[in-house]
Amino acid sequence: MLIVVVMVGVLLMVQTKMKNFIHKNGVFVQFDVQEEVGMKNLKPMKVKNRSNKGELLSTSVSPYHDWDLFAADYEEMMKTLKIFVYPDAIMSNKFSTFSSIFLPHANPFDPKLGNYFSEHMFKIALLGSSFVTKKPEEAHFYFMPFSINVMRNHPRVHSASAIEDFVAGYTDRVSSEYSFWNASGGADHFYVYCHSIGRDAASKHQKLHHNSIQVTCSSSYFQRLYIAHKDIGLPQVWPRQHEQVLNPPDARYKLVFFAGRVQNSLARRDLLELWKNDSSFDIFSGSSSFPYEEGFRRSRYCLHVKGYEVNTARVSDAIQHGCVPVLISNYYDLPLANILDWSKFSIIVNERNVPHLKKILLSVPKRTYLNMYNNLGIVRRHFAWYSSPKKYDSFHMTVHQLWLKRGLHRVDW
């Protein structure tokens, strides 16, 4: 009897020593304790001071690479950053056929904007912010305010090719009417879009493509016209007025939620074929049999699986609902990844590992899961847009991405 107890004790000690990184099916999972997340006993972890929002968390669990460094740099940005907006966004001739392309959207919370909400919210927030300067000589950046989403629905522009022509023509106009473009070859200029068709917008203007900064939701470094380290990923968010109350971990009785069309995606096809019959998975081709939001509330993990694009608003939906995102979308240049440590609040799975999905998720230790859940409560403020922008929201975080690219040398004008 005593010998058995001692042996069990030794075994347990050996097990707890096997912590740190465990390599599973090509995915690195950071282990603290060898304990699997079962379907029961998921009590929320106690966080000492919720209002700290993670600032005081130790670095091993914090969702930030370096909170102190970031927070100080952010304050510096708030004091210093200046952006010049080309006047079309403010004084566009309202009777011109093309004015709507530049002007802010009249009703950005219109649910019809759907996936393109972030594009409009960025422009509205910028125009109302103290970053905007009327003195172009003091600007760090120059904003070209055309909206790809408006063009896509515009009777005169509409097609991909017409959008490319319009954008090239606009860029030429800006560079002949103002001297700022030639001073940097466009490298301190930026434009913002969420519609994937915007990716080709620069294709008829070489300098725009090579030099200017695209701030885009479809930030895939596998795409021909996206340039990692130059361009910036924009958090894609579905229009939503109210913050969700998070369902606690122990009320989440399903392991996985995903609802979406197969489109032309092999990963989605595999997912549906392999897992739709598994009772711990809520997997739907198309819409779910219950309200969409319910899926995010009752599941512990919410899948984001590449469709036509690497990006959808599902990632921020999951974050907003406290459902740990599982990203199955290779070559996605994740928004804010130089500030946020995505491995502390999401799980990144290679598309080819869909067959091992259940094993991968069940092998996540309970403590790791609870820590990720808590971190979602901390990072969700970065994945939200507000009518009156707030500190650390999607607007300010995206502007901070630009701020990190300042300091370009330009020639005199």
Residues that bind ligand NAG (CB under 6 A): 49, 51-52, 175-176, 179, 182, 274, 277
Q: How far is the CB of 283 from ligand NAG (least distance, A)?
A: 11
Q: How far is the CB of 391 from ligand NAG (least distance, A)?
A: 13
Closer of 20 and 49 to ligand NAG (Cβ): 49
Q: Which of 145, 128, 127 is nearest to 192 (CA)?
A: 145
Amino acid identity for residue 362 in this structure: L
Q: How far is the CB of 334 from ligand NAG (least distance, A)?
A: 28
Closer of 66 and 177 to ligand NAG (Cβ): 177
Q: How far is the CB of 57 from ligand NAG (least distance, A)?
A: 12
Helix 394-403 vs helix 67-80: crossing angle, to nearest 10: 90
Q: Which of 134, 140, 114, 282 is nearest to 194 (CA)?
A: 114
Say how far apart CA 150 and CA 194 lie, in whole Å: 11
Closer of 22 and 274 to ligand NAG (Cβ): 274
Closer of 99 and 182 to ligand NAG (Cβ): 182
Q: In what order do the strands lie in the sheet with 141-143?
A: 83-85, 141-143, 189-193, 213-216, 232-233
Q: How far is the CB of 413 from ligand NAG (least distance, A)?
A: 8
Say how far apart CA 274 and CA 251 lie, in whole Å: 26
Are the beta carbons of 231 and 221 closer than 8 angstroms?
no
Say how far apart CA 144 and CA 86 lie, in whole Å: 6
Say how far apart CA 12 and CA 18 lie, in whole Å: 10
Closer of 175 and 311 to ligand NAG (Cβ): 175
Element (DSSP H or E) covering residue 143: strand 141-143
Closer of 179 and 206 to ligand NAG (Cβ): 179
Both tokens of 180, joined, read: 């700022």
Q: How far is the CB of 354 from ligand NAG (least distance, A)?
A: 12
Cβ burial, residue 274 (10 Å; 0-12/13-18/19+): middle
Closer of 70 and 385 to ligand NAG (Cβ): 70
Closer of 49 and 388 to ligand NAG (Cβ): 49
Q: How far is CA 114 from CA 119, 313, 345, 411, in A?
A: 11, 9, 25, 41
The string of DSSP letters for 331-382 reads: TB--TTTTTB-GGGT-EE--GGGGGGHHHHHHTSBHHHHHHHHHHHHHHGGG
Amino acid identity for residue 239 in this structure: P
Q: How far is the CB of 176 from ligand NAG (least distance, A)?
A: 5
Q: How far is the CB of 225 from ligand NAG (least distance, A)?
A: 22
Q: How far is the CB of 101 from ligand NAG (least distance, A)?
A: 22
Closer of 211 and 220 to ligand NAG (Cβ): 211
Where residue 322 falls (left for φ over 0; alpha for ψ -120 to 50; beta otherwise) is left
Closer of 32 and 273 to ligand NAG (Cβ): 273
Q: How far is the CB of 366 from ligand NAG (least distance, A)?
A: 26
